Amino acid sequence: MAAARKSGRASTVLLWGGCFAVLLVVIAISGLSLVDQAHEMRGLYSTMAEVQQQQDGLLEEHSRLMLERSTLSSMQTIEAVAESELDMHFPEGVGEVLR
């Protein structure tokens, strides 16, 4: 009977020891996974900051181009370019346009 009790205790201790070892392995894997995810998050945050800077530059360039487009599309600018670069002049004897 005493031998059976010792055998039962030994198997219980062995069972608890195995469970403890599995628990330690799971905790270690979880910790390493957490560290990996934190590292990935820092990398993504850095990439996001770079992309935001690029977006700001592109928005600035877009605003500048829209201003330039509105400046170049004004009637005075078009007439000035037509006269100076293309040597186009408004006809002097225009009285009425027929359709």
Residues 1-24 have a mean pLDDT of 81
pTM of the complete model: 0.53
- Residue from 75, 94, 98, 78 nearest 86 by CA: 78
Q: Which two tokens stand for residue 41?
A: 């998050």
Which residue would you say has higher pLDDT here, 25 or 71? 25
For residue 15, pLDDT beyond 70: yes
The residue with tokens 């910790």 is 31
pLDDT in tens, 63-89: 999 999 888 888 888 888 888 888 887
Domain boundaries, the chain: 2-84
Share of the chain above pLDDT 70, in %: 89
Which residue would you say has higher pLDDT here, 11 or 48? 48
